[in-house]
Structure 1
């Protein structure tokens, strides 16, 4: 075989592999919705277990029926005691139509939510190569979404509590669960002082409880501050797990924030101020309508079973 023919054959093979990968990522994997199950021993000794459903980054468009049905089925398959939604629910100006279909079966389940930018502004097309140079910039021409309608639906209809730069307390399965949350840190809408101060002002701080730190974008400054403020579990989204990954690699190629790339998806640990706590970063349920692909990174939700620590164990000291 001549050198030219060898080169052409190699080029053709590379092209075929690329085409097959694109076909898989665009036509198949982005529909392979996956439920990740985790267990964390973090509740006060003697507490009953609590099932937490972590949803993130639905980026919903009204025509995405498969996604809507899969999310709706989680109410029965997971039977959560608590839902935490870490934002970017909308992916289209009529995305709330799909969110209503998806979340309706979760009505009445205690829940908490924070905003991502795509709960406020519409997505826009971007050059994906720019993500390799750092967190993405913000489009100045993106249209506004109906955030008020989304929030009204989530709070008044579904019954969840907003955590935008504030804190709240819920009773879940007989356990007090406190949570502090911030608006989208990727857009610099977070106010950590306000969130931590609101958490400090919650009554009966010495009562046995669980304290959650909730953010859309898991920037280091947010995770560090929540850990120092006494959070027992940290929850975030935003990264899409990298969205396109090298198969079997523990690291994402990009995270679109400053979290370490090997913590851009899944359950890990975060250490700050002498404490180490569990961190779950959801790879999310969707993608921008301008980048309809998932490769080696299936869309996902997380079902986290929170269990009591044994009586002999010590929980990390709160700040």
Structure 2
């Protein structure tokens, strides 16, 4: 082999290695580049508000996968309290390790002072385990680990502060009109919510919430950690207007343009993140999530995020907006 050819091969190998290292550095940094996303969901009946341009605001958080050491994430999530919203919804996978509960409560503490509803995911119950990236990218379903996490105390703290557990039960409450004029209404805003346990690991029991939302609800919401299509179809058939989910991490390891490679569940890639229409009457919002497994500390073209959902009347916008 000539000297020139050898130099060329060595140079190419060095360039490839440098590119790989740069990609890993970028992907590692991205897990700490938190974003607030906002979407507008036209799901309410006409006449819900005195002013059809008004909206009901939901803060959707999911997939914290909290580690005790993640102080930056805890501060960023706590600062979401500075936003203007009427309801907090948490769709699970709060824990990233057994020591993560104090970090979760530190992050969510200000948000617990607002009306809130939650369901859990499998990573609230069981700790993460190392995963072969090739298996992940093939989208193969993995069994949970045998490490049990202290979710009971976290759940008790949520409930003690006033949040409602919607797992296999209906949650119905009314929110009075905002004194600052966020939305105008002579009566309270009635919300009907029902949720299931994580269907990705067959923990769901939809029969427990069969029967549909309360008929007087202004807004009917379904909750599931994993957006499995058969669960979404059931919520749609029961008359829910909006379903919120997490689990996918938006794809986590995406191509440029935030193009999802795998969803890690039955949902199609186009719906792995953000707002989409599931049926003519029901919309779906899937959170990018705010964390990742400690064994896969990378994100590419898919920054961690929370979402502020502006729920508005149908017809006051030609289409939904994501920004």
Q: Distance in 1 between matches of 2:5 and 2:261?
A: 34
Give per-residue Cα distances to partners, 1:123-173, cap 9 Å, x unaligned.
111112112333431145x2111121011011112x111111222112124
Distance 2:316 2:37 in 1: 28
TM-score by length of 1: 0.89
Aligned length, in residue pairs:
300
Matching residue of 1:317: none
Deviations 1:52-98 (A, max 9, x none): 0000000011111000000000011x222001100000111011100
1:261 correspondence with 2:269: yes
Distance 1:310 1:269, change over 3 A: closer
Q: 1:184 to 1:70 in 2, by over 3 A?
A: same
Alpha-carbon RMSD across the aligned residues, in angstroms, is 1.9
| CA deviation vs aligned residue, 1:27-70 (integer Å, no higher than 9, x gap) | x2111000001112222324252110000000011111000000
2:43–2:282 CA contact under 8 A, matched in 1 = no
**Counterpart in the other structure of 1:67:** 73
- Note if 1:227 corresponds to 2:236: yes
Distance between the aligned counterparts of 1:35 and 1:311, measured in 2?
24
Matches of 2:48 and 2:91 in 1, distance apart?
A: 29
SS of structure 1 residue aligned to 2:98: coil
In 2, Cα distance between equivalents of 1:11 and 1:2: 14
| Cα distance in structure 1, aligned partners of 2:170 and 2:48 | 25
Shift of 1:277: 2.3
Unaligned ranges ≥5, structure 2: 177-187, 319-323
2 CA distance for matches of 1:215 and 1:97?
24
The structural deviation recorded for 1:249 is 4.7
Residue matched to 1:316: none
Q: Corresponding residue for 1:55?
A: 61
- Which contiguous aligned blocks of 4+ residues in structure 1 show a shift greater than 6 angstroms? none
Match of 2:289 among 284, 287, 295: 284
Correspondence 1:5-154 to 2 at 5 A: 5-26=7-28, 28-44=29-45, 45-47=47-49, 48-76=54-82, 78-140=83-145, 142-154=146-158
Q: Which moved more, 1:46-55 or 1:91-100?
A: 46-55
Q: Mark the runs of 5 or more structure 1 residues left unpaired by the alignment.
A: 314-319
**After alignment, is 3-12 or 258-267 more displaced?**
3-12
